[in-house]
A and B are shown apart, each in its own frame.
Chain A
Amino acid sequence: MQPSGRGYDHGVSTFSPDGRLYQVEYARESVKRGTTTVGLKFREGVVLIVDKRISSKLVIIDSIEKMYQIDDHIGFTTSGLVADARQLVDRARVQCQVNRMTYGDAIPVTTLVKKMCDYMQSFTQYGGARPFGTALLIAGVDADGVHLYETDPSGAYQSYHAGAIGRGRATVIDYFEENWKEGMTQNAAIKLGLEALRDSIDEDLNNEAVEIAIVNGDGYSKLSRDETMKHLGKVN
């Protein structure tokens, strides 16, 4: 059998003749197998939503983390390899505090995104490394305004009005392209995000497994279970 990368997929630092880095592309596949997480901007901030799909009712849902507070003003959601994601989350949290210690100020969101992406990129260029099998949605608010970024295992990043990572990305993006509008209220944005997420899994959302966080001028805050249920009630 011919190996899929024809011998160019063993080392992360070897280009194929047509200019591809197969290991990076395989890392993207790992993200595509991950649970879907969505993020969208509204008038005053960003909504992040995750659906922690569980494989068995024996799993204790609270032990699964897909949504992380990074600093007062920044939150991540992750898709792909959870263990890889946790490394990135730990590093991001440290970078935020390093910025506060070094300059006495909270890190600008774009600076953190670039730092994280520089780090991820280094795992695509040096021998013996393996890229992170993880994508991040980075939501934050700073002096420059409201930010939502998506990162990719190659270390590339893009800023979005509304985005998604993971298995249901294409469906969610289609839904957002149809329905996302500038200047939505927070409640409208949460509803739109939940609808898009529900569309991507073709069934009702699991009440226990959905988490919603808001990042606005007051910083990052996760909605309580009661508040989350209220929003889910309008969608399911």
Chain B
Amino acid sequence: MSAVGDVVKTGTSTVGITFDGGVVVGADHRATMGHFIANKSVQKLFRISNNVALTTAGLVGHAQSLSRTLAAELRLYELKRNQSMTVRGAATLTANILVGRPHYVQLLIVGVDEDGPSVYSIDSAGGAIPDSYCATGSGSPFMYGVLEDQFKHGMNEKEALKVAAKALLASAQRDAASGNGMDLAVITQEKGFQLLSEEEVDKLLSNI
């Protein structure tokens, strides 16, 4: 199976974008079984700790299982060490789990630590690659069109949110396996993980 074939099969759109002081992360709500929309309100964006989030594409069972494991591991790490895991730490931990037992998923681990914001894309066999922005899932080719045009280093929170929303909107319109609204969250050093409310997302989209 080609890499592109794999990505297209995941049937999802998720995006992570670093900005000056934090990361924006988002995912659509659609779950598909072939041409059938199996669910219109799936959660693909998970808070793993106050400074790290996960987005998932691929098999829902594998993704949910990983999110449970990661949330437990990061909480234990915090309790034992009295400090947060770095984003790189979380990405490496996830990659190690996947190398041992591959899951049919394509993940983003995004977050903020003392070294600033970062986005890691992680493949189903545990390859972990840091980047300043990344999109995953079948909608990613459409999102990259937006990201390559609109992403700039040193954006502020508002600008980054807008780019993420635009990218997810583009994939919702052109990828049959993505859509039904979106989750968006911001992680900053000061405020930690903040999920946008439905109203906040609606307001953001109405301005695009």
Contacts and interface: CB of A to CB of B under 8 A. Distances in A.
Interface of A: 68-71, 90, 93-94, 97-98, 100-101, 104
B94 to A, nearest CB: 15
Contact of B76 (A68, A93, A104): A93
Main secondary structure of the interface of B (DSSP, over half): helix
Contacts of A94: 76
A94 B72 CA distance: 8
Contacts of B71: 100
Given A97-B73, A100-B71, A100-B72, 5 more contacts: A68-B79, A69-B79, A90-B80, A93-B79, A100-B75
Interface residues of B, number: 9
A230 B194 CA distance: 33
B72 A98 contact: yes
Nearest to A92: B79
B173 interface: no
Contacts of A98: 72
Nearest to B64: A104
Contacts, number: 23
23 contacts: A68-B79, A69-B79, A70-B79, A71-B75, A71-B79, A90-B80, A93-B76, A93-B79, A93-B80, A94-B76, A97-B72, A97-B73, A97-B75, A97-B76, A98-B72, A100-B68, A100-B71, A100-B72, A100-B75, A101-B68, A101-B69, A101-B72, A104-B68
Nearest to B78: A69
Interface string B54-75: 0000000000000011011101
Contacts of A70: 79
A110 B14 CA distance: 40
Nearest to B72: A97
A2 to B, nearest CB: 46
Interface string B70-108: 011101100110000000000000000000000000000
A90 B72 CA distance: 13
Contacts of B69: 101
A94 B69 CA distance: 12
A68 B69 CA distance: 22
The residue among B68, B72, B73 with the most chain A CB atoms within 10 A of its own CB is B72
Contacts of B68: 100-101, 104
B76 to A, nearest CB: 6
A107 to B, nearest CB: 12
B119 to A, nearest CB: 26
The residue among A69, A101, A104 with the most chain B CB atoms within 10 A of its own CB is A101
A104 B43 CA distance: 15
Interface in B111-148: none
Contacts of B72: 97-98, 100-101
A110 B72 CA distance: 20
A74 to B, nearest CB: 10
Interface in B145-196: none
